[in-house]
Amino acid sequence: MNTAQLQSFCTAVRRDIINMTANAGSGHPGGSLSAVELVSAIFCTQMRVDPKNPRDPDRDRFVLSKGHAAPCYYGVLAELGFFDRAEFETFRQLHGILQGHPDMKKTPGVDASTGSLGQGVSIAVGMALAAKHMGKDTKVFTVLGDGECQEGQVWEAFMAANHYKLDNLTVVVDNNGLQIDGSNDEVMGLGDMAAKLRAFGFQTIEVSDGNDLEQVLSALGTPGQPGRPRAILAHTCKGRGVSFMEGQVGWHGKAPSEDQRRQALQELEG
Amino acid sequence: MSEKATRAAYGEALAELGAVNDRVVALDADLAHATMTVTFKNAFPDRHFNAGIAEANMTGMAAGMAAMGLVPFCSTFAMFGAGRAYEQVRNSIAYPRLNVKLAMTHAGVSVGEDGGSHQCVEDLALMRAIPGMTVICPADANETRRAVFAAAEMEGPVYLRLARLASPVFEEEQPFEIGKANVLREGTDVAVFATGLMVSESLAAAQLLEEQGVSAAVINVHTIKPLDEACVTEYAKKCGRVVTVEEHSVIGGLGDAVAEALMGKVACGFQKIGVQDRFGQSGKAKEVLKEYGLTAPQIAESIRAFVK
């Protein structure tokens, strides 16, 4: 997939996010939209996966540690053909395969059940460690929220990633700067995240605009360092792509109305 | 009767299991010499993973390893494994029904000297409440070995409750099937359902009761969930009186599991022997058990008073 194709892919995912959350009347559009380039680029350019064989034991693994960005994840998986886009109708609906937060038992292509913040990254560390132990060349990717990094478990997991020299693990922080109750700085300042990641032993790549595909692709393409886990600290914009959602705390966990859906989709015309 | 701690039997069983199942790995949180996963570590150093003092991450790592096809046995003290990491067990392991075996030691007040902060008397309640969790509390060293192998044999999350204190090893080895209680002694006046270290205490209590003219059946309920409801119902009906004995809070553990099974089905007298909504405390293990009324003579006295 070339960059122009990937750009259209991202736009399609953004439209999916708007449609899913509007249909459901609930969900998390803000943090889904900020992560679109990150998740899309990982799946489309980095991972060995086969949508027709989602349980292939030799596939690479992806863990959406910020599980509330499920609409972004589902959009990417559907655009890749893991399941039919008609399933979007079941998002957050009773008996649906698309739960409010990712459920590995229900959704083809989902490798870990997440949503309770801080837990996905530990699961990803366990997967990377198991892959090494089993002599597999599996790569493991996980996307965390910045607010999520307030969970102590995240730092336990980071410590373990370094201790076990997990150079098959890439941790991506979707640093959109906002969380439910306000900005990170207002709620609980994260300090110098890049310095912290480096101090925890990560090869740390900072991306000034994590919604710029060229920058994201360049970061993901940076060769890893043997014996070190890799972190990409991507500064993103919450609600990116929909003018009235961009940078707005209020769009963390609120669905667009029908009017807002129309306006958003208009703005997202390919 | 020889004595051996169920945690010691666990370490040996895990090493034995590791020799025949190369998917088995162990995780520990800086307590390998206490949980006895060190026995496995000595046999298979590259299959033992220390998470450091970080139980939440250990639990998540075990989930990730299970998702990759390994069979992780995850150990620390029950207080931390079932308590501190409860939500990780619930969401990272049980919710996706991952094949992780949680073998938690130092459960109950028989931890002794370390005191109430380290004596988990709520783990059965916590683990039992999680959908799909199998909960096992072996009565002795031999049963622990069988439980470890049975847990590995089945697919899905299992909680194994193990003890620090060396306890009697039964001379006769019992059959072990998950979910199937073992009747160790027949009786007609009262059915005593016991689990873990309280099984040997209850057997000794039944012997004392016999001398006082009370006939007590003793049933080893090694699997708290799924509970052997058929056995529980049968003996409750047969004896008309039920006593449960556990080294756990009387809230949410074996006693409540048995009560739930009988509720609305069998009318009978019911007494729960266990830790009566209190925290534990420091002391020699046997002194602490006595303080909480969990020794054979005290159990016999409680039952005698109840039956009378």
Q: Which of B12, B16, B55, B186 is catalytic?
A: B55
> Could you tell me the CA-to-CA distances from A187 to A143, A147, A205 in Å, in that order?
21, 9, 25
Q: Does A131 touch chain B if contact means CB atoms closer than 8 Å?
A: yes
Residue ranges, comma separated, of all CATH 3.40.50.920 domains in chain B are 182-307
Cα–Cα distance, B75 to B29 (Å, whole number): 7
| Minimum Cα–Cα distance from A162: chain B residue | B51
Is A112–B96 a contact, with Cβ atoms under 8 angstroms apart? yes
Pairing of strands A203-207, A230-235: parallel
| Minimum Cα–Cα distance from A121: chain B residue | B60
> Could you tell me the CA-to-CA distances from A157 to A13, A225, B90 in Å, in that order?
30, 19, 18
**B80 CA to centre of own chain:** 15
Is A133–B47 a contact, with Cβ atoms under 8 angstroms apart? yes
Cβ-nearest to B87 among A112, A116, A133: A116
Is A123–B56 a contact, with Cβ atoms under 8 angstroms apart? no
User: Contact at 8 Å (CB) between A168 and A139?
Assistant: yes
CATH number, domain B182-307: 3.40.50.920
- Contacts with A136 from chain B: Cβ below 8 Å: 68
Cα–Cα distance, A167 to B67 (Å, whole number): 19
Is A104–B47 a contact, with Cβ atoms under 8 angstroms apart? no
Q: What is the CA radius of gyration of chain A?
A: 17
Q: Does B166 touch chain A if contact means CB atoms closer than 8 Å?
A: no
How many other CB atoms sit within 10 Å of the CB of residue A191? Answer: 11
Cα–Cα distance, B98 to B79 (Å, whole number): 21
User: Contact at 8 Å (CB) between B147 and B136?
Assistant: yes
- Contacts with B87 from chain A: Cβ below 8 Å: 116
DSSP string, chain B: --EEEHHHHHHHHHHHHHHH-TTEEEEESS-HHHHSTHHHHHH-GGGEEE--S-HHHHHHHHHHHHHTT-EEEEESBHIIIIIITHHHIIIIIITTT---EEEEBSBSGGG-TT-GGG-BSSHHHHHHTSTT-EEE--SSHHHHHHHHHHHHHSSS-EEEE--SSEEEPPSSPPP-BTTB-EEEE--SSEEEEE-TTHHHHHHHHHHHHHHTT--EEEEE--EEES--HHHHHHHHHHHSEEEEEEEEESSSSHHHHHHHHHTTT---EEEEEEE-S-----S-HHHHHHHTT-SHHHHHHHHHHHH-
Buried b (16+ CB within 10 A) or exposed e, A33-52: bbbbbbbbbbbbebbebeee
Q: Does A166 touch chain B if contact means CB atoms closer than 8 Å?
A: no
Is A128–B64 a contact, with Cβ atoms under 8 angstroms apart? yes
Cβ-nearest to B96 among A105, A125, A129: A105
- Contacts with A162 from chain B: Cβ below 8 Å: none
For chain A, what's the residue count?
270
Q: Which of B53, B61, B71, B74 to mutate to test the interface with A (most CBs of A within 10 A)?
A: B61
| Minimum Cα–Cα distance from A101: chain B residue | B91
CATH topology of domain A3-269: Rossmann fold (3.40.50)
pLDDT at B1: 81
Is A163–B52 a contact, with Cβ atoms under 8 angstroms apart? yes
Q: Does B57 touch chain A if contact means CB atoms closer than 8 Å?
A: yes
Cβ-nearest to B65 among A121, A126, A159: A126
Q: Which of the four CATH numbers 3.20.20.70, 3.40.50.920, 3.40.50.2000, 3.40.50.970 does domain B3-168 have? A: 3.40.50.970
Q: Does A121 touch chain B if contact means CB atoms closer than 8 Å?
A: yes
E strand or H helix that includes residue A19? helix A3-24
Q: Is B177 a catalytic residue?
A: no
- Contacts with A152 from chain B: Cβ below 8 Å: 56
Is B64–A119 a contact, with Cβ atoms under 8 angstroms apart? no
- Contacts with A138 from chain B: Cβ below 8 Å: 68
pLDDT at A270: 59
Domain locations in chain A? Answer: 3-269
Question: pTM value?
Answer: 0.97
CB contacts < 8 Å between A and B, how many? Answer: 112
Is B67–A111 a contact, with Cβ atoms under 8 angstroms apart? yes
Q: Is the ipTM of this complex over 0.95?
A: yes
- Contacts with A107 from chain B: Cβ below 8 Å: none
Residues sharing a CB contact under 8 Å with residue B117, sequence separation 6 or more, in sequence order? B79
Q: Does B18 touch chain A if contact means CB atoms closer than 8 Å?
A: no
- Contacts with B88 from chain A: Cβ below 8 Å: 119, 122, 153
Cβ-nearest to B63 among A115, A123, A133: A123
Cα–Cα distance, A232 to A239 (Å, whole number): 20
Q: Which of A55, A58, A62, A119 to mutate to test the interface with B (most CBs of B within 10 A)?
A: A119
Q: Does B46 touch chain A if contact means CB atoms closer than 8 Å?
A: yes
Per-residue pLDDT of chain B (308 residues; tens, 9 = 90+): 899 999 999 999 999 999 999 999 999 999 999 999 999 999 999 999 999 999 999 999 999 999 999 999 999 999 999 999 999 999 999 999 999 999 999 999 999 999 999 999 999 999 999 999 999 999 999 999 999 999 999 999 999 999 999 999 998 888 999 999 999 999 999 999 999 999 999 999 999 999 999 999 999 999 999 999 999 999 999 999 999 999 999 999 999 999 999 999 999 999 999 999 999 999 999 999 999 999 999 999 999 999 98
Residue ranges, comma separated, of all CATH 3.40.50.970 domains in chain B are 3-168
Q: Which of B210, B207, B253, B261 shows the shortest CA–CA distance to B231?
A: B261
pLDDT at B226: 98
| Minimum Cα–Cα distance from A56: chain B residue | B68
User: Contact at 8 Å (CB) between A102 and A115?
Assistant: yes
pLDDT in tens, B4-45: 999 999 999 999 999 999 999 999 999 999 999 999 999 999
Cα–Cα distance, B240 to B245 (Å, whole number): 17
- Contacts with B70 from chain A: Cβ below 8 Å: 130, 133-134
Is B56–A104 a contact, with Cβ atoms under 8 angstroms apart? no
Q: Tokens standing for B181?
A: 């209680």
Q: Which of B84, B86, B92 to mutate to test the interface with A (most CBs of A within 10 A)?
A: B92
Per-residue pLDDT of chain A (270 residues; tens, 9 = 90+): 899 999 999 999 999 999 999 999 999 999 999 999 999 999 999 999 999 999 999 999 999 999 999 999 999 999 999 999 999 999 999 999 999 999 999 999 999 999 999 999 999 999 999 999 999 999 999 999 999 999 999 999 999 999 999 999 999 999 999 999 999 999 999 999 999 999 999 999 999 999 999 999 999 999 999 999 999 999 999 999 999 999 999 999 999 999 999 999 999 985
